Amino acid sequence: MKKYYDVHNHLFNKHFLGKELMYRMMKELRKFLDFQQDRSLDRGPDRGLKKVIKSFRRYKNAIRVFTRKNSIAIYEELNKTYEGEFILTPLTFDLTYCFSPSADRDIQEDTQEVAQNASEDEMSILFGLIEKQSRELSRDFNPDANSEGDNLWQEYQEEKSQFLKEIELFQQGEPEDVEQESGTRGIFKRKTAFDGWKEQLRQIEELKNHSDYGKMIYPFLAIDPRRPGIVEYAKDNVGKNKLFAGIKLYCPNGYSPTDPLLFGSEGNRDGLYAWCEDNGIPVTAHNSDGGFATLAASVVVNGDIQVNGKLHQLNNELLKFSKKITEKDAIYERALALNHPLIWRKVADKYPNLLLNLAHFGGGRQLEAAMDHPENKTLWSNQIIELIKDERYNVYTDVSCFYDFDAIEKLINSEVYPKIQKRILYGSDYTLLLLFEDNFEENIRLFREKFGSDFDIIARDNPEVFLKNVI
Percent of the chain with pLDDT over 70: 88
Summarize pLDDT for 2-60 with one digit per residue, the tens.
Answer: 899 999 999 988 877 777 787 778 777 777 666 455 544 345 666 778 888 988 899 89
Q: Are 370 and 381 in contact (CB under 8 A)?
A: yes
Return the pLDDT at 32: 62
| pLDDT for res 373 | 98
Instruction: Give the 3-state secondary structure of residue 3.
Output: coil
Q: Write the CA distances from 67 to 135, 146, 172, 175, 363, integer angstroms.
A: 33, 39, 10, 11, 27
If you count them, how many residues does the chain have?
471
What is the model's pLDDT at position 120?
A: 79
> Residue 392 — φ and ψ, nearest 5°?
-70, -20
Inform me whether the pLDDT recorded for 449 exceeds 60: yes
In angstroms, rounded to a whole number, what is the distance separating the alpha carbons of residues 288 and 385?
Answer: 13
Which residue has better confidence, 429 or 32? Answer: 429
Query: What is the value of pTM for the model shown?
Result: 0.89
Closest by Cα among 332, 188, 317, 220 to 259 = 317
Determine the pLDDT at residue 42. 40
Cβ proximity of 97 and 107 under 8 Å? yes
Q: What is the DSSP string of 272-338?
A: HHHHHHHHT--EEEEEES-S----SSEEEEEEEEEETTEEEEEEEEEEEPSS-TTSTTHHHHHHHHH
| Contact in structure between 10 and 93 (CB atoms under 8 Å) | yes
- Judge whether 347 and 354 are in contact, CB under 8 Å: yes
Residue 428 has pLDDT above 60, yes or no: yes
Mean pLDDT of the chain: 88
- What pLDDT does 381 receive? 98
Tell me the domain boundaries of the chain: 4-16+69-107+189-466
Residue 114: the pLDDT is 67
- Please check the confidence at residue 224 and state whether its pLDDT lies above 90: yes
User: How do residues 137-186 score in pLDDT, each as one tens digit?
Assistant: 999 999 999 999 999 999 999 999 998 888 887 776 544 444 443 333 33
Asked if 342 and 383 count as a contact pair (C-beta separation under 8 A), the reply is yes
Query: What pLDDT does 107 receive?
Result: 58
Please state the rounded mean pLDDT for residues 373-391.
97
Q: pLDDT tier at 112 (50, 70, 90 boundaries)?
A: low
Q: What is the pLDDT of residues 272-312, one digit of tens each?
A: 999 999 999 999 999 999 999 998 999 999 999 999 999 99
> Is the separation of the CB atoms in 85 and 3 below 8 Å?
yes
- The 10 Å Cβ neighbour count of residue 176 is 6
**Structure confidence by residue, pLDDT tens digits, 174-223:** 444 444 433 333 333 334 433 578 889 999 999 999 999 999 999 999 99
The whole-number average pLDDT for the span 341-369 is 97
Cα–Cα dist 410/458, whole Å: 16
Looking at domain 4-16+69-107+189-466, which CATH architecture does it have? Answer: Alpha-Beta Barrel (3.20)
Instruction: Return the axis-axis angle of helices 71-82 and 440-451, rounded to nearest 10°.
Output: 50
90-108 mean pLDDT: 78
pLDDT surpasses 60 at 104:
yes
Q: Is 177 helix (H, G, I), strand (E, B) or coil?
A: coil
Average pLDDT over residues 93-120: 71
* pLDDT > 90: percent of the chain: 67
Residues 6+ apart with CB under 8 A from 417: 411
pLDDT at 236 over 80: yes
Please count the other Cβ atoms lying within 10 Å of the Cβ belonging to residue 445.
Answer: 12
